[in-house]
């Protein structure tokens, strides 16, 4: 469970600028190579500035297909929804058509939402790039310590989470196995509150973040305040 490659930046502003540029370059290369760019978005607060930076770059068009690593089971227009945050910060103003923006269904409860999302993912190959955050306990997406992370090959693509320690309790999360069916995974981690979890990850403790290994590249984009 050792740390993947870590890129440390002096502050969130430098990190977001470098990450937005690298993401746009990655999208261009993948679209040239395969005609599309399947991107999984991280939830929580940290990615908001990245999504705003992508909006400022006019990032996204009909070749982009957007998924979510996890979602909170609250109303579809609830400000706490990860998809509402991403739509407001970037997607609604982008040239990515709504049909390519796959929000996780919210209204039907975690079990039915997870089943519906797994079905929507049937036939979808490896993601090109997965963006993930990390919580102070080392969780990622909605995969939490002490719970099932769906690491085995026969795991469902999307898991229902009924007792999340991070509110709200009801969530849907891509499984570790589905997150790992990706060419690249980039973690975006910032703030002194994450330093302890980074130290535990570095020291090899078994954490959800450590269960994520992309096929080509797993990278941590870190602001110095969170460096262990």
Complete DSSP assignment for 161-174? ES--SSSSS-EEEE
- What is the rounded distance in angstroms from the CA atom of residue 41 to the CA atom of residue 54? 12
- For 81, how many CA atoms within 13 A lie in the half-sphere containing its CB? 16
Among 10, 45, 98, 125, binds ligand 6PG (CB under 6 A): 45
- Chosen residue from 50, 73, 82, 91 binding ligand 6PG by CB under 6 A: 82
Exposure string for 140-152, b = 16+ CB within 10 A, e = fewer: bbbbbbebebbee
Binding residue for ligand 6PG, selected from 12, 43, 138, 210, defined by CB under 6 A: 43
Site string for ligand 6PG, 135-174 (x = CB under 6 A): x---xxxx-----------------------x--------
Indicate the residue among 63 and 114 with the shorter CB distance to ligand 6PG: 114
Q: Where do the H-state alpha helices sit in the chain?
A: 12-34, 48-56, 82-89, 109-120, 176-180, 195-202
Instruction: Report the residue number whose CB is nearest to ligand 6PG.
Output: 133
Considering the complex, what minimum distance in angstroms separates the CB of residue 134 from ligand 6PG?
Answer: 6
From 66-74, 105-113, 151-159, 216-224, span contacting ligand 6PG (CB under 6 A): 66-74
Question: Left (φ > 0), alpha (ψ -120 to 50) or beta: where does 12 sit?
Answer: alpha
Which residues neighbour 220 within 8 Å (Cβ) at sequence distance 6 or greater?
3, 4, 5, 6, 7, 186, 187, 189
Nearest distance from C-beta of residue 61 to ligand 6PG, angstroms? 25
Q: Which residue's CB is nearer to ligand 6PG, number 166 or number 202?
A: 166
**Size of the chain, expressed as the number of residues it contains:** 228
Which one among 12, 37, 38, 46 touches ligand 6PG, defined by CB under 6 A?
46
Question: Which one of 12-20, 69-77, 101-109, 195-203 is the stretch in contact with ligand 6PG (CB under 6 A)?
Answer: 69-77
Pairing assessment for the beta strands 5-9 and 217-223 based on DSSP bridges:
parallel
In the complex with ligand 6PG, the residue whose CB is nearer, 135 or 150, is 135
Nearer to ligand 6PG, 3 or 209 (CB): 209
Residues that bind ligand 6PG (CB under 6 A): 42-46, 69-70, 72, 82, 133-135, 139-142, 166
């Amino acid at each position: 469970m050792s740390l993947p490659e870590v890129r440390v930046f002096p502050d969130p502003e430098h990190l977001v600028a470098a990450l937005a540029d690298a993401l746009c370059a990655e999208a261009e290369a993948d679209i040239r190579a395969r005609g599309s760019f399947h991107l999984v978005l991280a939830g929580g607060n940290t990615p908001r500035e990245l999504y705003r930076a992508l909006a400022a770059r006019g990032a996204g068009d009909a070749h982009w297909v957007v998924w979510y690593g996890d979602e909170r089971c609250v109303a579809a227009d609830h400000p706490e929804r990860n998809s509402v945050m991403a739509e407001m910060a970037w997607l609604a103003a982008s040239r990515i058509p709504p049909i390519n923006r796959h929000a996780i269904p919210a209204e039907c409860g975690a079990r039915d939402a997870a089943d519906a999302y797994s079905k929507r993912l049937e036939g979808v190959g490896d993601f090109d790039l997965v963006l993930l955050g990390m919580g102070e306990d080392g969780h990622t997406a909605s995969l939490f310590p002490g719970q099932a992370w769906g690491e085995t090959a026969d795991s469902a693509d999307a898991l229902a989470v009924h007792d999340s320690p991070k509110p709200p309790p009801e969530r849907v999360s891509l499984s570790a196995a589905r997150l790992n069916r990706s060419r690249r995974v980039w973690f975006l981690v910032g703030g002194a509150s994450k330093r302890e979890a980074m130290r535990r990850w570095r020291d090899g403790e078994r954490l959800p973040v450590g269960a994520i290994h992309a096929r080509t590249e797993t990278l941590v984009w870190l602001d110095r305040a969170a460096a262990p």
